[in-house]
Chain A
Amino acid sequence: MNRKLLLVEDEEHLRELVRLCLEDLAGWQVITAVSGENCLHILQTSTVETILLDVSMPGMDGITLYEHLQTNPKTQTIPVILLTAKVLPSDRAKFAKMGVNGVISKPIQPLTLVAEIAEIMGWPAPT
């Protein structure tokens, strides 16, 4: 099972910790991007099964990035899961309306994070 995910996260600590979770707990392969621009750049050369996207980022934020991805035929088919600290119901509704595949709120326990991603993607839960 060589699942490959792209994590877009500007916070250095979180980037490191989420990568540890997904690699060491779930056994998935993770590549990371530090910003929206960085993400678009990486996707030019790499293919991934899903994108984990932080919403609040300086520069291009997660929503703008998502809209960018939707305009490109090459990237618009990639499932996107949002990671966000914004948990107001209105935000959730807005995100769902946009067409993202899932929304996961921070802070979150490592095991829960893995389980939620697997559920959204329809992957078997890692043991």
Chain B
Amino acid sequence: MISHSYKILLVDDSLEDRATYRRYLRSSEKPTYEILEADTGELALQICQQSLPDLIVLDYCLPDQDGLTFFQTFTQQFGQFSLPILLLTGEGSERVAVQAIKQGVADYHVKNQITADNFHQLLVSTIQQFQWKQITHRLQEQENLLNLFVQYAPVGIAMFDREMRYLMASQRWIDEYSLGSMADLLGRSHYEVFPDIPDEWRQIHQRCLAGATERGNREGLRRKWTTWEARPWYQGTGEIGGIIIFVVDITQQKETELALQTLNAQLEQRVQERTQALSQSNHYLQESITQLEVSEKQLADLYQNAPCGYHSLNADGLIININNTELDWLGYSREEVVNRKHFHEFLTPVGKELFRQNFPLLKERGWVKNLELKLIHRDGSSRWLMFSVTAIRDEAGNFVMTRSISLDITERKQAKLALQKQTQQQFLWQITQKIRHPLDLDTILQTTVAETRQILQGDRVAVYRFRSDWSGEFIAESVGDRWVKLVTTEVSTVCQDTYLQATQGDCFQNPKPCVVVNIYEANLQPCHISLLEQFQAKAYIIVPLFAWEELWGLLAIYQNTGPRHWQGWEVELFQQIAQQTMIALQKSHLYHQLATELRKNQQQTLVLQEAERRWRSLLENIQLLVVEINNLGKIQYANPYFLALTEYQASEILEKDWFTFFIPPLYQDRQRQEFAKVFNSHFQAQNEFVIRGKNGQEKLIAWNHTPLRDLDGQIIGIISLGEDITERHRTEQIKNEFIGIVSHELRTPLSGIQMSLGLLNTGIYDHDLKKIHRILEIALLDTNRLSNLVNDMLDLERLESGRSILEKQVCDAMDLIKQSSNGMQAIARKNHIHLEIIPTSIRIWAAPDSIIQILTNLLSNALKFSPPHTTIQLRVDRQGKETIWQVRDQGRGIPPDKLEAIFDRFQQVDASDAREKGGTGLGLSICRTIVERHGGRIWVESILGQGSAFYFTLPISNNPPNDP
């Protein structure tokens, strides 16, 4: 059992895993392993076709199929007991493993629990266990086979132990001796069952138990003949365990033998008798002819009443003399025959033909011996006669007449025919054997017609097939060379038999054969005769062919040489051939139907595979998350998009619990409930919830869950499609916040205006001018603020949406600086701030108004935050292909965490600045948008308490760039 070298096939798509197994296996000294490898199931099967290994180590997850599919394919191709398969599965795949073992996989092991030691042990024990299993299986099969054989063998078999107790008996044995059932028999002694068994048999049993084999024949009850054999049987150890007796029924064989013996004996006796009679009569005749003294009367008596027929014919074949015996055979009186009848008138058509051929021969040669002809009696009965004829010539050698002696051989002939019939039965068997196997219609029909023609010696055998309108065509024939062909490779003769069409094949609906000896004497319609003449037929047998209880066609045999007296056995044989043909034909049809269905199935499989491929391609490429979980919450599938988003490998998550793996702990219970609802309600469900990726990243997903059903409609899992809405959700939040801010920013000045005017309107200050002024001032300030805000917001919106067109042109940076500082100088002076301008003339490509807007904005911001007696510097310089603009102040500075944010909308350093400094909170956003639309950048550098410097860049106008 234990071999020293095993051939192992590793089937695993992971190069790494295979390397590991290889290393483990190489580390073993005894046994050694020959290692084959395959990375797909397909390749593994190819390897197995070349040579089967001792063991397959099979990874459950293969790229082209899963382990179970592989196992099933393998079993179909190589059988279940050809070799053991060790299945490797991922952890937690017990379900798969149990299923696999149920189907016959030898064993399984969890992949990551394999070590060098246990792998080797696992392989050896799997192979050994499997070998035991194989042997057990083989023994069981043999036992079953043996049991079946014994039970159904058409032979009596009984097996006994050394004490002649029954161990086994075939059904035939039990039936033959009326022994009840096998169960009754087992363990009982043969001598108890047959207490009256003769001593002779006991002695035979004893001799067999001593090692002898004996056989013999025996005539049993009811004239039954059996042949028996008794022999010892041997145990595994070589000792005789008991005996077996076989009994075969040979009654039929014996009967046939006896019948033939009798028949032959009778025949021989008759021939002897007749030969004796003939020689006797010849002897008498000779004597009487030579001895002239013998009286005329004696002679006549002998001539007339001898047990053989005499007649003489003239040159035309007219009977000129005939004895009483022969007249008796014909049933006519002498007067009716002599000089009135030609001999051939008493013959059958075949006989006439024979006579026609032999009569000239006789006249020429002078003799014909042993010519067998059938003579027809007046009453229609007939007898076979054997003629020996001599021609009587005159002295000149001219023919005068014939002299023929005939002998009744009817009985001999019949015996011969019986024998012939037996031979013909063999022919039928021969045909049946030939057409039973070929499964295509043409071969069956061709074989049938060819064999039939040969056996029955017809001139043409053909198969005619009906069409649905009851017209039809010859579809197969076998025909002698000299006759017209009805079926050629190009064309088959179509017959428009209107009679058959009108009556729907009426005359053939009756399964009886249609036998015609001579078409001119069978009362056929002239149209039929002319049709038959086209076939050159003179006689025929037509047998209808029935398939599925419908008239399918006709099998016809034609004699063209002349009329033919079809023998009963010939007709019967022909009918049997027709039946066998139709059986073969229906079998062929079934086979083709089966083949077609098989092909259809294969096509369906292909279509399914194509659909599966398409679905898979869709799932693999769709920009949506697709995940399938089974009813235990274990992940069965996750598409690449899902894996990319969560940063997992498929192998890390398959068969893992969906909830604990992906749902943040806080929501797990709720999600379990939601999924249970989908399982129970059988409906789709939509919801949004967060999943957690490999690195803890959380994604908000809008899900659509659909129950997954098996073929019985049973829900086996859920397919969830998800859209990652994390980003969308964030954008929405920002948008909502912004709307909140805008509404607040707009309502605040509006509230001021409304309340101011409302207060004035109450009239309580009608006499307090000071308060009226103050309230109006507030209203005016708020109105300005509102108007600035609305203007800025519209500006910004137009800039950002691209609706406002920046009309760029070549302009001089110095001009722009001068224009924007002009209006500011006055305010600066008023606030005692020094505005220092360092202009450089650089040609730029820009929309001048928008650049002035930026500069004004930055300058006014700087002025707002600059204490008196400080300097604000405005300058522009060339730096490479750009101009770099700078507005620097000595104000309070900007905290580092606000350096970026101040360019966003409504993100003033201090909210109160808006009110105090009259800003809208949108100025810097507008600046940034304009700069970016020019292809530049804007930023701020600042030191708290010392001042800030705003910079932006614009491209130089060597080549006017496209508006970005």
Contacts and interface: CB of A to CB of B under 8 A. Distances in A.
Note whether A and B form a binding pair.
yes
A108 B756 CA distance: 10
Interface in B728-782: 740, 743-744, 747-756, 758-759, 762, 764-765, 771, 775, 778, 781-782
B869 interface: no
Interface stretch (B205-213, B606-614, B908-916): B908-916
Contact of B759 (A12, A106, A107, A110): A110
A11 B755 contact: no
A107 B750 CA distance: 7
Contact of B751 (A24, A85, A86): A85
A85 to B, nearest CB: 4
Contacts of A24: 759, 764-765
Given A17-B752, A21-B759, A107-B747, A12 B775 contact: no
Contacts, number: 70
B782 to A, nearest CB: 6
A111 interface: yes
Interface string A28-61: 0000000000000000000000000000101000
A17 B759 contact: yes
Given A106-B751, A107-B755, A12 B762 contact: no
Contacts of B775: 17, 20
Interface residues of A, number: 23
A86 B778 CA distance: 23
Contacts of B744: 56, 85-86
Contact of A13 (B758, B765, B911, B915): B915
Contact of B748 (A14, A16, A18, A20): A14
Contacts of B748: 11, 14, 85, 106
Given A85-B744, A107-B747, A12 B755 contact: no
B758 A111 contact: yes
Contacts of A13: 749, 752, 778, 781-782, 915
Contacts of A86: 740, 743-744
Contact of B754 (A10, A20, A109): A109
Contacts of B912: 10, 58
A20 B781 CA distance: 18
Contact of B911 (A10, A18, A108, A110): A10
A25 B911 CA distance: 30
B747 A17 contact: no
A108 B752 CA distance: 9
Contacts of B756: 17
Nearest to B749: A13
A90 to B, nearest CB: 11
A86 B912 CA distance: 19
A16 B775 CA distance: 9
B758 A11 contact: no
Interface residues of B, number: 27
A27 to B, nearest CB: 11
A11 B759 contact: no
Nearest to B782: A13
A25 B764 CA distance: 8
Contacts of B743: 85-86
Contact of B755 (A10, A14, A56, A85): A14
Contacts of A106: 747-748, 751
A14 B759 CA distance: 12
Nearest to A18: B755
Contacts of B782: 13
Nearest to A34: B912
Nearest to B913: A58
Interface string A1-27: 000000000111110111011001100
B755 A17 contact: yes
Given A85-B743, A111-B758, A111-B762, A12 B915 contact: yes
Contacts of B910: 58
Contacts of B764: 24-25
A12 B755 CA distance: 13
Given A24-B764, A85-B744, A86-B740, A107 B911 contact: no
B549 to A, nearest CB: 82
Nearest to B755: A17
A24 B759 CA distance: 9
A26 to B, nearest CB: 11
Nearest to B760: A110
A24 to B, nearest CB: 6
A108 B751 contact: yes
Contacts of B771: 20
A84 to B, nearest CB: 9
Interface string A107-124: 111110100000000000
A38 to B, nearest CB: 13
A43 B888 CA distance: 44
Contact of A110 (B752, B753, B762, B781): B762
A17 B915 contact: no
A111 B501 CA distance: 111
B740 to A, nearest CB: 7
Nearest to B764: A24
Contact of A25 (B751, B754, B762): B762
* Of B747, B749, B910, B915, most A-chain CB atoms within 10 Å: B747
B754 A108 contact: yes
16 contacts: A10-B911, A11-B915, A13-B915, A14-B748, A17-B752, A17-B778, A20-B759, A24-B765, A25-B764, A86-B744, A107-B751, A107-B753, A109-B754, A110-B758, A110-B762, A111-B762
Given A11-B748, A21-B759, A106-B747, 7 more contacts: A11-B915, A13-B781, A25-B762, A85-B751, A106-B751, A107-B755, A110-B758
| Top 8 A-B pairs, shortest CB-CB distance | A58-B911, A107-B751, A85-B747, A107-B754, A17-B755, A13-B752, A110-B758, A106-B751
